[in-house]
Amino acid sequence: MKYLQLNGIQHYAFCPRQWALISIEQVWSENADTVLGGFVHKLADDRYFEEKRKDKIITRAVPVLSRELGLTGIIDVLEFHRVKNGIILKNNEGFWEPFVIEYKKGHPKANNSDIAQLVAQIMCLEEMYDIVIKNSSLYYKQTNKRLNIEITDDLKNLVRQFCTEMHTLYEQGKTPKATNGKNCQRCSLKEQCQPRLTHHKRSVSNYIVKQWDDLI
């Protein structure tokens, strides 16, 4: 099985066709949102940086992988908080618990694609460290706020479902049809996608958006 890019899951949760255009057809287009997003990630992505405080260790640009999900990627900021029972870290006394902070531009989105990416990161860490992580957070640059997210089994199952669908589409080299929905207005690939010109029929993206709405 080929490992897919972890950050692709945010595109898939937003629109499966957008993910396929980027990951299968190698189409990419910048708009104001993607340029700003790249800038925010650059701020967070200070590779190999590690900061130690009394009860906290902060690491950046941490590579992660999940065999179960077939994903590989980078976590912007991974904190380790000192706890009574946790994992052991080389060259650090005591026990520690991982806590992810995923940096985003703007403000929390209605479509929950950011949450999908965060949950996928958590699932990678859980597999790598053989632990369970209950909470992590999204940081939004525009509002300068952290949004704490509870990592539920329902969210994990939906991420598993996304990954299964992504791998199936990737192996088949299939790009889903456009939906021409409300997401299209802010889509960086609208020009290349031409949603009005493609057929309208029930698609996986409608199905997925409905499931997100039911969960949150």
Binding site for ligand SF4 (CB under 6 A): 15, 17-18, 21, 178-179, 183-184, 187, 189-190, 193, 195
CB of 110 to ligand SF4, least distance (A): 13
Our CB check for ligand SF4 shows the closer of 18 and 121 to be 18
Q: Which is nearer to ligand SF4, 59 or 205 (CB)?
A: 205
- Shorter beta-carbon distance to ligand SF4: residue 86 or 181: 181
Q: Which is nearer to ligand SF4, 72 or 206 (CB)?
A: 206
Q: Which long-range contacts (CB under 8 A, 24 or more apart) does 39-47 make?
A: 39/105, 40/103, 40/104, 40/105, 40/141, 41/76, 41/103, 43/103, 43/141, 44/76, 44/77, 44/103, 45/74, 45/76
Closer to ligand SF4 by Cβ: residue 97 or 114 = 114
- Shortest separation between residue 198's beta carbon and ligand SF4, angstroms: 8
Chain position carrying tokens 């255009």:
21
Q: How far is the CB of 64 from ligand SF4 (least distance, A)?
A: 27
| Minimum distance of ligand SF4 from residue 6's CB (angstroms) | 20
Rounded Cα distance between 119 and 150, Å, is: 9
Residue with tokens 């260790």: 57
Please report how close the Cβ of residue 175 comes to ligand SF4 at its closest, in angstroms.
Answer: 9
State in angstroms the smallest separation of the CB of 28 from ligand SF4. Answer: 12
Beta strands in 67-152 (DSSP E): 71-83, 87-89, 92-104, 135-140, 145-150
Distance (Å, whole) CA 116 – CA 11:
10
Smaller CB separation from ligand SF4, 67 or 210: 210
Q: Which long-range contacts (CB under 8 A, 24 or more apart) does 172-178 make?
A: 173/24, 174/20, 174/24, 175/17, 175/20, 175/21, 175/24, 175/25, 176/16, 176/17, 176/20, 176/203, 176/204, 176/205, 177/17, 177/201, 177/203, 178/17
